[in-house]
Amino acid sequence: MKFGKEFASQMVPEWQGAYMDYNFLKKLIKEIHVFKQRKNPGGATGLKRNMTLYRAFSGLTQLQRHGQTKVTSTSSGTHNGDIEDQVILVNAMERGGGREENYYTKFLMSHDEGGEYELVFFRRLDDEFNKVDKFYKGEVEKVMKEAALLNKQMDALIAFRVRVENPEGSFDWAVEMNRLVTDVATSVSVVDESSPATCKTAANYYSSLEEDGHSKSGKEGHTKSGRIVPQMDIIEENNQSNEDSAEDSAEDMGITSKPKPADKGRNSICVEKPRNIKAIRPAPLEVLNRVKYNNTLETPRSTLKGILKVKKNNNLNFRTEDLKKVEDQLKRAFIEFYQKLRLLKSYSFLNLLAFSKIMKKYDKISSRNASVSYLEMVDSSFLGSSDEVTRLLERVEATFIKHFTNANRSKGIKILRPKPKKERHRTTFSLGFFSGCAAALIVALILIVRARHIIDQKGTTQYMETLFPLYSLFGFIVLHIFMYGGNIYFWRRYRVNYPFIFGFKQGTELGYREVFLISSGIATLALASVLSNLDMEMDVKTRDYKAITELIPMGLVTLVLLITICPFNIIFRSSRFFLLTTVFRAFCAPLYKVTLPDFFLADQLTSQVQAFRSLEFYICYYGWGDYKHRRNTCTSNGVYSTFYFIIATVPYWSRFFQCLRRMFEEKDAMQGYNGLKYFSTIVAVLMRTAYSRQKTMGWRVLAWSFSAISAIVSTYWDIVIDWGLLQKNSRNRYLRDKLLVSRRSVYFGAMVMNVLLRFAWLQTVLDFKFSFLHKEALITIVASLEIIRRGVWNFFRLENEHLNNVGKYRAFKSVPLPFNYHEEEEEDKDE
């Protein structure tokens, strides 16, 4: 794989705009190459004459100071050659007291033939490097602040743990110090293997990466004076002005390439023994006097207290269950923080590698030797010399292993560095097997129906009114899962980071193959059940159908429900529990804080109204004993008719309450308008249901009016708000500025499809009738069209969410911390 493709594949999706634009710089180099080929058709790559008399004079370069601006210069070219052979001059300018640092490259060969192309290249190269360096510096500052915050949280946790384990205050500090020193020495001794310091050249250093499986920085990493590295709980690091320690393994980052130094002899790299990490005294118990619980409205109980304005009890309770809850919160915070550090490490390494690659390409095309000096500047910059992230990674690992895995390093590393999910051959094989079975059963079903002339039999109407609604439930489920599998396929193809957006635990998200496997498996079971219920004959004496075959649909539903709630680690347990938790939170709205998975799933349920009605029919059909005679008495039952109205509006009420919660919690008026949209849909559904029961002109007018209003508002909201399309000032006419799909016709086609399928309710009001379709079959087709519309909506909705995250560089989840210090509350009040 070429480096450009590998570079793009390793990017953090939300940080794409912050990476070096490798393809554009390569395009500029290609323009230089084309010019040289045009001027030298014979194939000579060097310049015809050395125009030293016309070069800019740079022998008296001095240090210039203008106010708060400090400029340092690095002459470039071949170090062992004459000064006239210099190619570039790199200036590092510090402004605002050293808070901002920009690099400018002066190209000294601009008077050469084609020099303007190279001048443009270096200007854009500087822009890209300054962009990358500035972004990296800003992100490092953020993680350093977060590290200080986590340090304070750990102080509180240790003190809290001491109080819980020693409620009477009987605490021997000397014994505890000895225990901590021993534990830390044990956990840290395995962080790095102790080995004598060895020095090697940069070329040998990088060539050894593939042998030992580690990617190392290959640059001198001195700790800059004045930079404070916060201590992480019980460990601290002695400041040393030595080379960087080994970086994360290339396998963890997913990087197979390695940067090659511009000059094999220009750097000598020493790999030393691991830095000394020593234990310090545990946090004193006085910390607890300045700490309270950081309560958030995340449970029904806390939500009700907030509504009733009950005074919060933020005082600490030193109970075992509270300690476990605090430890779980901090554990999640550390895991997420560690992932941030790993992404930053990967970001730094990839960009350094990209700058090395692009400069080598420039040297090759231009027949110059500018990469040595430019890469020296890169190595001395914050991006190349900063080692805060590496140090923090070591301290986080040691702290996490000590406090959350009882000094079990292998267990701690397994949690901190979960292995990426691998595609398994058995999944592909099972998918093919069940797909083939489902296709064969469909063909068999068609042949049996035609051979037995089942459609022409008297029992056909009875079958369509009883068993067909039972089996249509599985059709809705299979179709929706199939559409979701298609969504995952296209999300991956267009690099939409759906695991992060949905908040899946790393390594547990399902791929499209697993989702298609579930869909094909359910389809195979449902089709086999349909074949077993094609018998239209009944017992002449009892006038009953066979009870065993009539109970098959109920047995299949029971089987699916049992698998869904099965507590054993089979059939994607983590995904099943995530689904159950999200469904529960959706139906308990507005008692829970609304997250994206909650309202996204609730939107899916609004497209499954007919499936909910099928479940209601299951209860009536088998609860009233109609299955014995294959008859439908539910429609004449008053209780069933009442719930027929209620069931259809439950998903919309869930979304309505979610919108209300977000409106009051986030102070967002748009959520109030969204809630009105769902309320109008509730009214429209009730009107259409009432009209289907009583075919009067009054109900028809009401159904028409409210349905039209709801459809128009919902269509506008889908396209403009959820998809972010139809923007006035967009560079893509009638769309948005950023599009993941290159063909704009796809977006226009999706908009037209959404409008047409949104008005599928017209079938209910206009009473379309087809002689070759039963009423139940027509209802099923209309419900299936809504599921298809929702599947299309899913892709563009998540695409828009992904682009919003990219625009704000949001690549991490925010994890609530358990403790809140008094001084932090005062700062919040001051702000």
Q: Regarding predicted confidence, which is higher, 295 or 656?
A: 656
Residue 81 CB neighbours (<10 A): 10
Residue 110: predicted pLDDT: 64
Cis peptide before 567 (omega within 30 of 0): no
Mean per-residue pLDDT, 732-757: 93
Q: Beta 69-75 vs 277-279: how paired, if at all? A: unpaired
Residue 66: predicted pLDDT: 38
Query: Which residues are CB-contacts of 384 (< 8 A; sequence separation ≥ 6)?
Result: 219, 352, 378
| Whole-angstrom distance, CA of residue 338 vs CA of residue 392 | 9
Q: Which of 42-51, 92-101, 597-606 has the lowest mean pLDDT?
A: 42-51
Q: Which of 450-459, 581-590, 726-735 has the lowest mean pLDDT?
A: 450-459
Does the pLDDT at position 562 exceed 90? yes
Residue 31's pLDDT band (boundaries 50, 70, 90)?
Answer: confident
Residue 652: predicted pLDDT: 96
Does the pLDDT at position 492 exceed 50? yes
Closest CA to 608 of 636, 588, 583: 583
H-helix segments, 258-319: 300-307
Residue 173: predicted pLDDT: 52
Residue 179: predicted pLDDT: 56
Q: Which of 35-49, 206-220, 370-384, 711-725 has the lowest mean pLDDT?
A: 206-220
In DSSP terms, 161 is beta-bridged to: none
Closest CA to 108 of 373, 383, 353: 373
| Whole-angstrom distance, CA of residue 690 vs CA of residue 252 | 59
Does the pLDDT at position 122 exceed 80? yes
Q: How many percent of the chain have pLDDT more than 70?
A: 74
How would DSSP label each residue in 644-681? HHHHHHHHHHHHHHHHHHHHHHHT-HHHHHHHHHHHHH
> Average per-residue pLDDT in the chain?
78
| Whole-angstrom distance, CA of residue 692 vs CA of residue 695 | 6
Residue 267's pLDDT band (boundaries 50, 70, 90)?
Answer: very low
In DSSP terms, 7 is beta-bridged to: none
| Whole-angstrom distance, CA of residue 386 vs CA of residue 369 | 26
pLDDT tens digits, residue range 789-800? Answer: 999 999 999 999
| Whole-angstrom distance, CA of residue 371 vs CA of residue 152 | 44
Rounded to two decimals, the pTM is 0.79
Does the pLDDT at position 205 exceed 50? no
Token output for 709: 């209003």
Residue 265: predicted pLDDT: 39
Q: How many percent of the chain have pLDDT more than 90?
A: 40
Residue 266: predicted pLDDT: 39
pLDDT tens digits, residue range 269-281? Answer: 343 444 444 444 5
| Whole-angstrom distance, CA of residue 297 vs CA of residue 666 | 12
Does the pLDDT at position 98 exceed 70? no
Residue 399 CB neighbours (<10 A): 23
Token output for 753: 């499809």
Mean per-residue pLDDT, 463-480: 93
**DSSP E strands, 96-233:** 100-107, 198-201
Does the pLDDT at position 633 exceed 80? yes
Does the pLDDT at position 750 exceed 80? yes
Mean per-residue pLDDT, 500-516: 90
pLDDT tens digits, residue range 208-238? Answer: 333 333 333 333 333 333 333 334 443 333 3
Does the pLDDT at position 49 exceed 60? no
Distances (CA, A) of 262 to 6, 84, 364, 471: 21, 20, 12, 68
Does the pLDDT at position 400 exceed 50? yes
**DSSP E strands, 228-280:** 235-237, 268-271, 277-279
Q: Regarding predicted confidence, which is higher, 154 or 251?
A: 154
Residue 286: predicted pLDDT: 79
For residue 817, with 0-12 CB atoms within 10 Å meaning exposed, 13-18 middle and 19 or more buried, which class applies?
A: buried
Question: Per mean pLDDT, which of 280-289, 391-400, 455-464, 818-827 is the most reliable?
Answer: 391-400
Residue 70: predicted pLDDT: 43
Question: Per mean pLDDT, which of 176-180, 454-458, 635-639 is the most reliable?
Answer: 635-639
Q: Give yes or no for a contact between 596 and 501, defined as CB atoms under 8 angstroms apart.
A: yes
Question: Per mean pLDDT, which of 173-177, 190-194, 404-408 is the most reliable?
Answer: 404-408
Residue 420's pLDDT band (boundaries 50, 70, 90)?
Answer: confident
Helix 596-606 × helix 638-666 angle, to 10°: 150
Give the distance from CA 721 to its chain's centroid.
21
Residue 65's pLDDT band (boundaries 50, 70, 90)?
Answer: very low
Q: Regarding predicted confidence, which is higher, 13 or 109?
A: 13
Distances (CA, A) of 20 to 116, 124, 358, 375: 22, 10, 10, 15
Does the pLDDT at position 394 exceed 50? yes
φ, ψ at 367 (rounded to 5°): 60, 35
Distances (CA, A) of 539 to 233, 453, 622, 629, 723: 78, 20, 19, 10, 56
